[in-house]
Amino acid sequence: MTNAKLRDARFTGTFTAITTPFTPNATAIDYALLEEQIAFQADGGVTGIVVCGTTGESPTLSAAEYRELVERAIEIGHAQSLMVIVGTGSNCTAHAVELHRFAADAGADGSLSVSPYYNKPTQEGLYAHFAAIADAADLPVILYNIPGRTGVDLTLETVQRLAKHKAIVAVKEATGSTESAGLIAAHCPKLALLSGDDGMTLPFGSLGGVGVVSVVSNLLPEEMTTLTRLISEGQFAESLTLHRRLLPLCLAMSFETNPIPVKAAMALLDRDSGSMRLPMTAATEATVEKLRPILEKLGLVKHCVGTS
């Protein structure tokens, strides 16, 4: 993993896709818990946090909640010397531009913009969408490719076109495809390639990836930070050992739809209320029981609620 050619070398390492802690009845955001979560990330040494992403249940936030959460997270994160990236995606280009400008005005360090979902634009539509966002404000843009949720894939050719824009600095690749990641790293060397899946951090890193937008780092920020550092230093034997240690937890984050498993795990560690907001629901008992031995094996049992 080399950073020499990157347009903006700040976008490397571990960025935690932070959860949004709701009150027990999920009617409000618990900002005291949010502050605790962000401090936990800072103590773990992560590069930054991503707020209002999928893990943060952003589709369930009202416009007022979104704006307050962004402003509070930036204030708290910057006080902890963390970069703060804001999820600004929308399947309406005008709305995405509005959110992007708001994030810039609020003092964000970057904007994570997901491909438009449901309406499934063409590649030309995707290019025009992201170009409009990048033109809208003086704020670095991270492209977010996750066809499993959006129904459309951001192709290499479109990424190459977008990579020419000075404001587009990175791509979060959540395809699980080493072929796609390898091609982006090879043909778009100015863009920071970030894994969108914890379990693909090492495979992508071996192909030129420079970091991860992580769900697992909500639980183990220090370990995920160590993993991205080892990869950046070319210590692949050590990276593989740590990757194998963390992989069961990475896979566990897919037991149910994200962020259900990570919130359940945080609740087991007495670190979050675990509340979900509809249409997301709490983890099933079967998921919780599958999570327990994984957390135990990682040595977290002493913090695990309800274990001996």
Of 117, 118, 127, 144, catalytic: 144
Q: Which amino acid is at 45?
A: G
What distance in Å separates the CA atoms of residue 238 and residue 249, rounded to the nearest whole number?
18
Tokens of residue 213, six digits: 């937008």
Name the H helices within 108-216.
123-136, 147-150, 156-162, 178-187, 201-205
3-state helix, strand, coil in the chain (%, to 5): 50, 15, 40
Of 31, 117, 164, 172, catalytic: 172
What distance in Å separates the CA atoms of residue 83 and residue 303, rounded to the nearest whole number?
28
144: annotated active-site residue? yes
What distance in Å separates the CA atoms of residue 192 and residue 204, rounded to the nearest whole number?
11
Non-local CB neighbours of 175 within 8 Å, separated by 6+ positions: 145, 146, 147, 148, 153, 181, 196
Total residues belonging to the chain: 308
What distance in Å separates the CA atoms of residue 192 and residue 255, rounded to the nearest whole number?
29
How many C-alpha atoms does 223 have within 13 Å on its Cβ side?
A: 21
User: Catalytic residues, which ones?
Assistant: 144, 172
